[in-house]
Structure 1
Amino acid sequence: MTDTLPPIRELVPHAGAMSLLDRVIAVEGDRLRAEVVVPAEGLFSQDGGVGAWVGIEYMAQAVAAWAGWQAREKGQPPRIGLLLGTRRYRCSVPRFMVGQRLQVDIERGYQADNGLGQFECRIHADGAELASATLTVFGPEDPSTFLNGENV
């Protein structure tokens, strides 16, 4: 595991209210662990917590942090990625409660040369697994060209 990790804002290209993770705890090979303390006030906060569906975004941002770490290791900035789909999202709670400290674990299952990848993801709190899913993502080599439809 890595001893010195940069702030989350240096790894994930989200800003402001849309930056949901607090920090990266560990990264090694195909795995990353991030942490979030569920905020009382935030983009998705209401009625003492955030809906369990926000777990998918926590997972996606942890995948983005892993990709940002990989880019950083190559001397490159983080780049935009796309969440293409989620399979088998299972969550044992209806919401994550304010103040709850969540660990978001992701592990790359595969990644093709064209940027398509799949990650196994889990969210834990107090030693219990609360959520799990498989995320399919796409990280185009040149996001602006891709988003403009020039390289489809």
Structure 2
Amino acid sequence: MWHGRVADELNCLEEARLKAQLARTAAEEAAKKAAEEARLEARRAALRERIARQHQAAERAAAEERARQEVLKFKGKPLHEKLEEEYEKVQKAEEQERKTRYEQTTAQRHVRPAQIISGQVVIKPLPGATPVAATPPGGPSSHPVLMMW
């Protein structure tokens, strides 16, 4: 009977050893899993940081390009030359407009009444001019005129 008790104690010790080993293995697995999760999270954080730096670098490059384009607008010629060119461009446009208006006016002056009657020529009002029939006899007035008959 004594052998049975020793065997039971040995079985209990073996069982305790196995339980301790299982607990140790489970703890090691949990530690490995936690370490792996921490490593993966650190890697994800590094990736997010790298992507953020790439975005910042792209934004910086775009801002530098915009600034360079702005500088090139002003860097090419001195300001007085640019203003002079712009003034000449405006003067040419105004001269062209005056010329076309003059040509329209002269073309209307050389029309014979027979051409108007036959329909060969159509007289159009000059741009910017108010028709004579639209103005009252005394000229345009800012207040209404009451006429009583």
Which has a greater percent of strand?
1
TM-score, length basis structure 2: 0.20
Structure with larger Rg: 2
Which has a greater percent of helix?
2
TM-score, length basis structure 1: 0.20
Tell me which of the two structures has the higher relative contact order, counting C-alpha pairs closer than 8 angstroms and 6 or more residues apart.
1
